[in-house]
Structure formats: C-alpha cells, structure tokens
C-alpha cells in the first residue's frame, strides 16, 4: 500500500493534474476570500468555503479521472493484479495519495482565518469546523470520482461523467423544487431509476436475467407500495434528491453548526465508493 | 513447482481454456506453444492471478493462487504480452515501485535493482523516460520488473513479439540465461523460437493441451511423412518404373524441370528415410540414369504443430 501511495504521489507531481487541482482550488477560495472577507468585510470564513465548493465540480474530476482509467489504458493494471498486493491495498494507496494532494492546498487555506483574525474578530471554531467539513466533503467527492474512473479506460469520459454527476449533485437541491412531488410523479421517477439500475447491473455483471429480475422485483415493489399507501410516496423524489446532495449538508456547517450526522454521512459515502472501486477492479478479473 | 489442475475458463459462451492440466518442475525453460487464440495468454493470466478461472486449480510452490494469492504471487514474475510500463517514468523509478510493491526495502531493494539492471543490460537507459525507449528496451525493462523479488518462476507472454531480429536474438539469449537459475515459462506462436530456447514444449490448441514433451521426443513421435525430392535425367515413364520397384514410397509426383530433366517428389512414411534414399540412388544407378540432385526433408516440429493443431482448419490458419 505504501508503495502504491508513494508511486501515485510521485506520478501526480510529474503530471499537471495535481497542480491544476491545487491552483484552481486556491484561486477560487482566494477570490471568495477577497469578495466576502475583504470587500464585503464579513468576518465569517465559512461563506468563502461555501462559495468555493462549486469549484469541486471541475477540479475533482480533473484530479481523479486518470487514477484508474489510465492504468487500464496503459495495461499496467495487469502489473497491479500480478503483484503480491491486494486490490484493497491498491485502492487505499491511490485514495490516500489523492487525499494527501488535496491536503496541500487545504493547508494553505487553513492559514487564511488566522491572517484575518489579525485584522478583526473572526470566530475561529466555526471557521475550522467548516474547513474540516470542507475536507471531508471533498474526500467524499474524490472517492466518487475514483469510482467513476474505475469504470472506464478513457480519461476524458471519466472526467465528463464526473463533472456531470457532481454538477447534478450540486444543483440537486435547487432542482428538487421543480420536480413533481405527487405520488404518481414519484412512481414515474422510481421506474426510471429502476431502469437505470437495471442497465448498470447489466453492464457490470453482463447478466441479462439478473438485470431483468432486479427490475421486475423492484417494479412490483413500487406498484404494491403505490396501491397500498400512495401517501408514503408523496414528496419522495424531492426528498431523495435532497438526501443525496453532498453539498446541501455542508451548508449546516456554514451556518455555524458542527453536524455529526453529516460527518457520518460523508464517511459512509467514502466507504461506499471505495468499496465499489475495489469491486470494480476485482470484477475485471472475472470478465 | 507449478501444478495446473483441470483449469477451465469461459467468457460467456466461449470456452477459452477447457480442462487443462499439467505439472511443471524446477529450473528449466518451458515453451507454451499454440496458434493465436489457443488460450495461451488466458492460461498465463490465470496462473499469475490476473484472471479468475471458471473451474480448476493452480498451485504455485504449494500455494493455491486463488486461496493464498499473495504467497503464490510472490513466487512469480510475470511479463504480460504488452509490457505493463508507466510511460512517464524512468526504468529506475519504475523498478523501485515494483520492488517496493513486492515488499523489498532499503539496501535489499537497491541491491536487487542493480542486479536486474545488470542482468537485463538496461544500465545505459535507466534514467531515460520509458516513453523514449525502443520496443526492445521496453521489453527488457518488463523482464527486469519480473525478476525483482527473486521469484522462482518467470512467466513471459510472447516476449519476442514486435522486436527486430537483433533484439530477438538478445532477448532469447537473456531468456536462456534465466533458465539456468529460474523456471521460465514462455509462450509463443513461433515454432523455431520455442525449439531453440525450450527444454520442454507444451502445445495447446483450442484451449486444450495436446502435447507436452521435449522437442526431440515430439519429432520422434511423428507420424507425419517425410519427403524426398530428386531431379533425374530419366523420363517420366522410366522413373515411375524404377521407383515402383521400391518399398516405402507412399506417393510420388512428377514435373518437368529445366534442361529436359525431370523432377520427382516422393512422400514416404518410413522411419528409415536414409535407407530409402540409398535404395533410390542405387535403383537409378543400376539403370545407368544419373540423379543430378536429391534432397531429403524430414518432418520437423512445424509439421507436428500443424498436424496437432489442425483439428479445426481455422486455428491452423490463424497461426500465420
């Protein structure tokens, strides 16, 4: 694992993506700090991070697009499989390297509240609480990006899907106000989700019967629920979109609360996507 | 050293390897021969833990590759068909990564890297970017990687494909040297290569093992006929008459040759091809007809290979 970690880290410094990631993050947070803390003379650093979180939409996919896709393209994944290390160690080594890279610009950002504190009243606990949450949210997005990278051998495609998914996640709360809250609307949305899930299962397992079986079981389940208790389905879709939003939970921290449930939520997202990444790598052995 | 038992691998409906079993001992060069698509790479990928098997077992030095993959893999150095190199690194950086991943540290790592760099003769290019190296050097870096950690088995998948003739000779030389200290398994679809490098040959076709023996034994077992071609001043009728008195000729064909001579091709299934050629010589001599040219062609591994793999004509063609 340490070998993979060191190797990845060295690779990132050889290539441009680490520098692009760091530079964009610093520039964006810098602009935020100028707008809020200097021009508007607001003493809360949290708002800057809330503003800065938008940049994740672009920089996380840029950072994570090559992490596994490139191994597959170069066929170096065969080397990783044949080395006496487990897939879990490979994924962990890569993920920790990404986190280490992410910590470098974040360390610079952590100095800002201290600087501002020299010129006025800054409430440091909320500033640093938010920076910690900012770190964990970014870590969750990086885990997501890594999983997307493991699905393809095309870096560009990985980046494109990554941007689309994170952008959707960013706006899912605002979008949730426009989607239908009626029970019937929820049913339609669930059916679409079931079809998408079936397609994904079919793509990953190449087993059509399994995909059809999952679709049919879930569809029957939704139908039963709709006829038995349609009230339960009301507002389900908007609620789901809100629940899935990683960015929405960050706002609690910006508002000055340190929300442990959100931290647990982020950690679960990280574990979930790391698990999927390991499975995605393992699956390549079976196709 | 390596035991493969009833190995089967299916891709959906396609069976790439079916019920393959063999056992490999210590310290020799083994050749894995078969036409393209015969299942060579699939088998090697399974043996090195890169691919799962549908059924069967692979035991490396007592460790099952599926049950105890880390211990089994530590005994193997593997060079896949396409060398798995990070193009943006130098060979030295690359070898350091592989060595660390194989659990080498500090002085031992440096010592082993020096050793494999020396053995594969990549010292001149070790600080150049792999991207800028020729295919031959990349192959060497790939072999160097496989040698790290001092594995007992080295598995090389088509190590000479895509190299120029001089590079091929160099790589063959290197593989022969490795065979003195390691068990080497290499795959190829080129016969002459396997014949010159390997002490034992496994022939695989359509996912099945069809022969496993030394090159000499394989030639000896041969049922495939030899061929004698000769040129004589006798006319066709006369030649036919002379030859029909001899034993051991299965088939003959005649064609006019230059300067009014006649060329004859004789196919024979006899074990004693020299005895036959001797009696042909005297039969013509007795009739006072000169043989101006005579050539024997013994069936070689090429014929065995074609004979063994030609269950389905398509796999025989795929070879070329």
Give me the interface pTM, i.e. the ipTM: 0.84
Confidence (pLDDT) at A240: 82
Confidence (pLDDT) at A76: 92
**Is residue A114 domain-resident?**
yes
Identify the bridge partners of residue B15 per DSSP, sorted by sequence position: B10
Residue of B nearest to A89 (CA): B101
Residues A56 and A124 in one domain: yes
Residue B174: pLDDT over 60 = yes
Confidence (pLDDT) at B143: 92
Pick the more confident residue, B313 or A98.
A98
Cβ contact A11–B45 (<8 Å): no
Kindly report each contact of residues A74-78 with a partner whose C-beta sits within 8 Å and lies 24 or more positions away, as own/partner: A74/B84, A74/B85, A74/B86, A74/B87, A75/B80, A75/B82, A75/B84, A76/B84, A76/B85, A76/B86, A77/A281, A77/A284, A77/B84, A78/B45, A78/B50, A78/B78, A78/B80, A78/B82, A78/B84
Which residues touch A259 (CB under 8 Å, ≥6 apart)?
A133, A249, A252, A253
Axis crossing angle, helix A155-176 with helix A56-64, rounded to the nearest 10: 150
Residue of A nearest to B72 (CA): A84
Residues A112 and A187 in one domain: no
Residues A79 and A191 in one domain: no
3-state secondary structure A1-56: CHHHHHHHHHHHHHCCHHHHHHHHHHHHHHHHHHHHHHHCCCCCCHHHHHHHHHHH
Residues A259 and A208 in one domain: no
A153 burial (CB, 10 Å; 0-12 / 13-18 / 19+) is middle
For A76, the closest of B51, B52, B84 (CB atoms) is B84
Which residues touch A204 (CB under 8 Å, ≥6 apart)?
A280, A283
Q: Which of B84, B106, B142, B149 to mutate to test the interface with A (most CBs of A within 10 A)?
A: B84
In chain B, residues with a C-beta closer than 8 Å to the C-beta of A155 are: none
Number of domain units in chain A: 2
Report the alpha-carbon distance of residue B164 to residue B86 in Å, rounded: 23
Identify the bridge partners of residue B264 per DSSP, sorted by sequence position: B230, B254
Residue B110: how many CB atoms within 10 A of its CB?
13
Asked if A85 reaches chain B (Cβ–Cβ under 8 Å), the answer is: yes
Angle formed at CA B276 by CA B270 and CA B282, multiple of 5 degrees: 165
Q: How confident is the model at residue B315 (pLDDT cuts 50, 70, 90)?
A: very low
**Is residue A276 domain-resident?**
yes
Report the alpha-carbon distance of residue B48 to residue B60 in Å, rounded: 9
Q: Are B203 and B188 in contact (CB under 8 A)?
A: no
Residue B318: pLDDT over 60 = no
Rounded to a whole number of angstroms, the distance from the CA of A18 to the nearest CA of chain B is 15
B179 backbone φψ class: left, alpha, beta (φ>0; ψ -120 to 50): alpha
In chain A, residues with a C-beta closer than 8 Å to the C-beta of B153 are: none
Rounded to a whole number of angstroms, the distance from the CA of A73 to the nearest CA of chain B is 10
Residues A98 and A192 in one domain: no
Residue of B nearest to A1 (CA): B101
Q: Are B242 and B234 in contact (CB under 8 A)?
A: yes
Q: Are B302 and B227 in contact (CB under 8 A)?
A: no
Residues A199 and A250 in one domain: no
Which residues touch A38 (CB under 8 Å, ≥6 apart)?
none
Residue of B nearest to A72 (CA): B84
Q: How confident is the model at residue B247 (pLDDT cuts 50, 70, 90)?
A: confident
Cβ contact A84–B48 (<8 Å): no
Across residues B4-19, what is the average pLDDT? 87
**Is residue A11 domain-resident?**
yes
In chain A, residues with a C-beta closer than 8 Å to the C-beta of B76 are: 82
Q: Which of A80, A83, A279, A282 to mutate to test the interface with B (most CBs of B within 10 A)?
A: A83
Residues A222 and A102 in one domain: no
Across residues B84-99, what is the average pLDDT? 93
Pick the more confident residue, B109 or B216.
B109
Report the alpha-carbon distance of residue B173 to residue B60 in Å, rounded: 26
Q: Are A8 and A97 in contact (CB under 8 A)?
A: yes
Residues A106 and A210 in one domain: no
Domains of chain B in sequence order: 2-220 (3.40.50.300), 226-297 (3.30.70.2860)
Residues A156 and A272 in one domain: yes
**Is residue A239 domain-resident?**
no
**Is residue A186 domain-resident?**
yes
Cβ contact B82–A206 (<8 Å): no
Residues A190 and A170 in one domain: no
Q: Which of A211, A234, A257 is the last residue of a domain?
A: A234
Q: Which of A276-280, B169-173, B247-251 has the lowest mean pLDDT?
A: B247-251
Residue of B nearest to A77 (CA): B84
Residue A245 in tokens: 């939003």
Q: Which residues of B touch A (CB under 8 A)?
A: 11-12, 45, 48-52, 69-71, 73-74, 76, 78, 80, 82, 84-89, 93, 97-98, 100-103, 145, 149
Residue B272: pLDDT over 70 = yes
Residues A143 and A274 in one domain: yes
Confidence (pLDDT) at B319: 36
Asked if A76 reaches chain B (Cβ–Cβ under 8 Å), the answer is: yes
Residue B317: pLDDT over 60 = no
Residue B56: how many CB atoms within 10 A of its CB?
18
**Is residue A166 domain-resident?**
yes
Residues A80 and A204 in one domain: no
Domain with A218, as residue range(s), is 182-234
Per-residue confidence in pLDDT tens, chain A, 287 aa? 889 999 999 988 888 888 989 999 999 999 999 998 888 888 888 889 988 888 999 999 999 999 999 999 998 999 999 999 999 999 999 999 999 999 999 999 999 999 988 888 888 888 999 999 999 999 999 999 999 999 888 999 999 999 999 999 999 888 888 877 787 888 888 888 899 988 888 877 777 888 899 999 999 988 888 888 877 777 888 888 888 888 888 988 888 888 899 999 999 999 999 999 999 898 888 76
Average pLDDT value over all residues in chain B: 85
Q: How confident is the model at residue B299 (pLDDT cuts 50, 70, 90)?
A: low
């Amino acid at each position: 694992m340490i070998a993979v970690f060191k190797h990845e880290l060295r690779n990132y410094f050889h290539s441009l993506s680490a520098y692009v990631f760091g530079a964009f993050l610093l520039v964006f947070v810098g602009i935020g700090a100028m707008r809020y803390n200097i021009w508007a003379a607001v003493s809360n650093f949290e708002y800057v991070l809330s503003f800065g979180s938008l940049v994740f939409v672009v920089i996380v996919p840029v950072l994570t697009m090559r992490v596994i896709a490139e191994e597959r393209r170069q066929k170096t994944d065969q080397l990783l499989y044949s080395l006496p290390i487990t897939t879990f160690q490979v994924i962990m080594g890569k993920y920790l390297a990404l986190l280490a890279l992410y910590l470098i610009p974040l360390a610079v950002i952590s100095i800002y509240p201290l600087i501002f504190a020299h010129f006025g009243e800054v409430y440091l606990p909320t500033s640093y609480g938010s920076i910690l949450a900012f770190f964990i949210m970014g870590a969750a997005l990086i885990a997501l990006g890594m999983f997307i990278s493991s699905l393809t051998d095309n870096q560009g495609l990985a980046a494109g899907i990554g941007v689309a998914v994170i952008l959707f996640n960013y706006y899912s709360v605002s979008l949730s106000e426009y989607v239908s809250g009626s029970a019937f609307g929820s049913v339609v949305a669930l059916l679409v989700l079931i079809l998408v899930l079936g397609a994904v299962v079919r793509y990953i397992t190449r087993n059509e019967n399994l995909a059809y079986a999952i679709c049919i079981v879930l569809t029957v389940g939704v139908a039963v629920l709709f006829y038995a208790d349609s009230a339960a389905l009301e507002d389900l879709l908007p609620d789901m979109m809100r629940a899935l939003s990683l960015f929405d939970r960050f706002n609690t921290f910006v508002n000055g609360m340190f929300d442990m449930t959100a931290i647990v939520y982020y950690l679960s997202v990280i574990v979930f996507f790391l698990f999927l990444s390991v499975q995605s790598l393992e699956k390549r052995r079976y196709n | 050293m390596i035991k493969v038992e009833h190995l089967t691998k299916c891709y959906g409906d396609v069976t790439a390897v079916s019920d393959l079993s063999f056992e490999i001992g210590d310290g020799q060069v083994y050749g894995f021969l078969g036409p393209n698509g015969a299942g060579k790479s699939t088998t090697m990928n399974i043996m090195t833990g890169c691919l799962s098997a549908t059924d069967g077992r692979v035991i490396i030095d007592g460790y099952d590759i599926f049950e105890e993959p880390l211990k089994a893999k530590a005994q193997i150095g593997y060079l896949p068909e396409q060398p798995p190199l990070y193009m943006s690194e130098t060979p030295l950086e690359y070898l350091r990564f592989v060595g660390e991943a194989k659990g080498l540290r500090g002085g031992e790592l440096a010592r082993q890297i020096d050793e494999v760099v020396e053995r594969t003769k990549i010292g001149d290019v070790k600080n150049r970017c792999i991207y800028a190296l020729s295919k031959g050097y990349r192959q060497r870096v790939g072999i160097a990687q496989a040698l790290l950690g001092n594995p007992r088995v080295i598995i090389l998948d088509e190590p000479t494909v895509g190299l120029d003739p001089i590079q091929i000779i160099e790589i063959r030389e290197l593989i022969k040297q490795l065979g003195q200290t390691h068990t080497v398994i290499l795959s190829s679809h080129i016969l002459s290569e396997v014949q010159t490098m390997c002490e034992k040959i496994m022939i695989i076709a359509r996912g099945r093992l069809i022969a496993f023996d030394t090159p000499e034994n394989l030639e000896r077992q041969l049922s495939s006929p030899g061929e004698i071609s000769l040129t004589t001043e006798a006319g066709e009728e006369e030649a036919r008459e002379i030859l029909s008195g001899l034993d051991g000729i299965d088939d003959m064909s005649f064609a006019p040759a230059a300067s009014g001579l006649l060329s004859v091709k004789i196919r024979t299934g006899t074990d004693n091809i020299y005895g036959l050629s001797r009696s042909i010589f005297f039969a013509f001599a007795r009739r006072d007809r000169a043989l101006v040219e005579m050539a024997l062609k013994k069936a070689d591994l090429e014929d065995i290979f074609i004979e063994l793999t030609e269950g389905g004509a398509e796999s025989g063609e795929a070879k070329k």
